[in-house]
Structure 1
Amino acid sequence: MHSIKKKTRKRIQSLLSKKLGPEYISYRQGFNGTKLAYIEGWVAISIANNIFGYDGWSSEIKSVTLDFCDESVGKISLGVSVVVRVSLVDGNFKEDIGFGSSENQRSKVNAFEKAKKEAVTDAIKRALRQFGDALGNCCYDKVYVSVIQKVLKHKNINFYENNLLRKNDELKCEELSDNISTELEKLDLTNE
């Protein structure tokens, strides 16, 4: 466990308190035709990596519960609940529950795979959002959601073909080690 320097902690807190731009928000149909705002799992993980650093946080599955399992006429439907803990390098953590379901699958393997992945992703997102608005908590603010729908999304994406990791790229151990050392120095961690 590491302490996070005061300057780094302030930067992290400042980023976490920001509400998300419209380019991060997705929508789905809710109960009675309502429109629900959410962030996709990969988006939440990407933002967490950017705020905390790729090695500044981790997630751990604490429990998995089979909530229901129905089989009929060669089809299986099931629901799974998962509790996940998201921990920061300084020892702070948040836990939450996620749910995943799979309807009318032909095999138990496919049903469990889909439901478990969905439940874990849901639990990670729900745990991450407890750290702040930038990790999805703002999606629960009805006033924010009604306003952000009217804000234009940025059209340009930071996509540069020369930044892609390609199959023919060689990662030399020494080069990789130097890059990791440089990145660790940037993390600004102490043992205070």
Structure 2
Amino acid sequence: MSDSFFDSKYNVDPTVQSLPSSVTFFPDMKEFEGPNSDDQIDTDSQMPTDWELKKIGAFQSRIESIQRNMESVYSKNRNPSLSKISAHQVFGLANEIFGFNGWSSQVSEFRIVDENFQYDNEEGEEYTASGAFSAKFCATVRITLKDGYWNEQDGIGESHGLPSKYLCYSKCKKEAVTDGMKKALIGFRLTLLDYERIKKEQQ
């Protein structure tokens, strides 16, 4: 997956690319197109293949290994939150275990959760009392493995005190997509739990 935004449909300029962020990896937004309604998959009917179960198991094992290594750093918390694992680590593991062509991403929706600027009815322009813009976005992101099994999660992105609405929204969207991708990949661990539950019910 590319980390370049120069070809993105949002036309993100160098100023946005240089903005500080709490994440270390930004995906190429041109790769994300929401699925058509005719292509929707029934999540209740999808079952992982043997390849997917094997790869998801290996992925989960590596995530748990990272958590154990983090215990020495966060010694007061014997079960460090998955949120402390960086997106860069998660994407690297996905490429290593599933393969660079073994998984793909889609963004189906962006939603504004919060914003602090208002519209000036007289001028028709946005403004804030401080002359800066802050907002929070939510992105619904789907990760699909090469055999068709997928997981979908919501990611959150925030920006504070930026000089324009464009910069504010661009940073929010990038962070929300990155967060959603990370959560969707880590969320595949639930596949193993569901699979074991179904096997027990069928016995």
TM-score range, shorter chain: 0.5 to 0.7
Q: List alignment gaps of at least 5 residues for structure 2.
A: 1-47, 72-79, 118-127, 191-203
Whole-angstrom distance in 2 between the partners of 1:122 and 1:39:
11
Matches within 5 A, 1:1-192: 6=50, 8-9=51-52, 11-18=54-61, 19-21=64-66, 36=81, 37-71=83-117, 72=128, 73-132=130-189
Q: Normalising by the residue count of structure 2, what TM-score does the alignment of the two structures yield?
A: 0.53
**CA deviation vs aligned residue, 1:75-95 (integer Å, no higher than 9, x gap):** 111111100000011110000
With over 3 angstroms needed to count, the CA separation of the structure-2 counterparts of 1:68 and 1:50, relative to structure 1, is: same
Whole-angstrom distance in 2 between the partners of 1:5 and 1:63:
28
Whole-angstrom distance in 2 between the partners of 1:130 and 1:63:
19
Whole-angstrom distance in 1 between the partners of 2:187 and 2:115:
30
Q: Following TM superposition, where does structure 1 have runs of at least 4 consecutive aligned residues deviating by more than 4 angstroms?
A: 22-26
Whole-angstrom distance in 2 between the partners of 1:131 and 1:61:
17
Whole-angstrom distance in 2 between the partners of 1:110 and 1:48:
30
Whole-angstrom distance in 2 between the partners of 1:5 and 1:127:
18
Which structure's residues are more often strand, by fraction? Answer: 1
How many residues of Structure 1 are paired with residues of Structure 2 in the alignment? 122
Tell me the C-alpha RMSD between the 2 structures: 2.8
Letter in 2 for 1:15: A
Q: List alignment gaps of at least 5 residues for structure 1.
A: 27-34, 134-192
Whole-angstrom distance in 2 between the partners of 1:89 and 1:99:
26
Letter in 1 for 2:160: E
